[in-house]
Amino acid sequence: MTDYSQSIVLIPTLNEVGNLQNLIPAIFKSMPDISVLVVDDNSNDGTEGYLNSIKTQYPNLFLLTRQKNLGYGNACIDGFKWVLGHDFKCVVTMDADFSHDYKAIPSLLDNLVDGDVVIGSRYVSGGKIENWKLHRRILSKVANFYVRLILQTNISDFTTGFNAYRKEAIQKINLNGIKSDGYAFLVEFKYKLSKSGAKIVEFPITFSERREGQSKMSGKIIWESIKLPWRLRF
């Protein structure tokens, strides 16, 4: 059996208890020795109580609760800092809402053999999007086209949040220098990794519409992503 004891799954959450109740047991069932870090922004749906109640059952489950809602990007950064302070070699980021299939975690980690970063990509051959509303599909496609054009890189899915990283690749990035959030954060982080010399590979994933709860996507997040590539380039 593959050894996942040096890998950790980082899941930023805001009011996702209904999804976590299914996701956490499923992850540990398929990979009992992996670790999971949930970075929660003080959700008011009982997330903290639920996670604390299953802690004895899953000793490799960790919770980082922030007192304020500081956003998705900032939750990832705090999560990365936590991981860098512990003894893990690889980290996978994923959403809690089942848009990302936990069954693909082993493939993302396996592909770290060939790279420092593995992007779970919807836009390479074999990648797919299921049940997503047309406007979200168009937005995602246009956003990736726009970013690629301005930043002139060949990464095909900049805005996916399902990625695997080697610890050393993250260590090269000044995490405190990243101020963007949401999709802009995902773009900025990947861009900075590629500029730092990280070897980036893309692995096809199937993305599905969330199972429960609500998207936290907002106009502010989109606007930030429109401005960001220009700031990164110049």
- Residues in contact with ligand GDP by the rule CB under 6 A: 12-14, 16, 39-41, 69, 71-72, 75, 95-97, 99, 210, 215-217
How many Cα neighbours within 13 Å face the side chain of 1? Answer: 8
Q: Does 97 bind Mg ion (CB under 5 A)?
A: yes
Residue 12 touches which of Mg ion, ligand GDP, none (CB < 5 to 8 A by kind)? ligand GDP
Which of Mg ion, ligand GDP, none sits in contact with 216, Cβ below 5 to 8 A by type?
ligand GDP
Q: Based on CB atoms, which residue is closest to Mg ion, 5 or 22?
A: 22
- What's the closest the beta carbon of residue 75 comes to ligand GDP, in angstroms? 3
**Of residues 201-220, those binding Mg ion (CB under 5 A):** 210
Q: Which amino acid is at 202?
A: E
Question: Distance from first CA to last CA of the chain, Å, rounded?
Answer: 47
Joined tokens for residue 229: 């590539």
Evaluate whether 205 touches 130 at the Cβ level (below 8 Å): no
Choose the one of Mg ion, ligand GDP, none that binds residue 39, judging by a C-beta under 5 to 8 angstroms depending on kind: ligand GDP
Decide which of ligand GDP, Mg ion, none touches 116; Cβ closer than 5 to 8 Å per partner kind. none
Q: Which of Mg ion, ligand GDP, none lies near 199, with the C-beta cut-off 5 to 8 A by kind?
A: none
Categorise residue 126: left if φ over 0, alpha if ψ from -120 to 50, beta otherwise: left
Minimum CB distance to ligand GDP smaller for 7 or for 13: 13
Closest residue to ligand GDP using C-beta atoms: 215
Please say which residue, 100 or 148, places its beta carbon nearer to ligand GDP.
100
* Shortest distance (Å) from residue 64 CB to ligand GDP: 9
Contacts of range 82-85, beta carbons closer than 8 Å, 24 or more positions apart: 82/37, 82/39, 83/8, 83/10, 83/37, 83/167, 83/170, 84/167, 84/170, 84/171
Residues that bind Mg ion (CB under 5 A): 95, 97, 99, 210
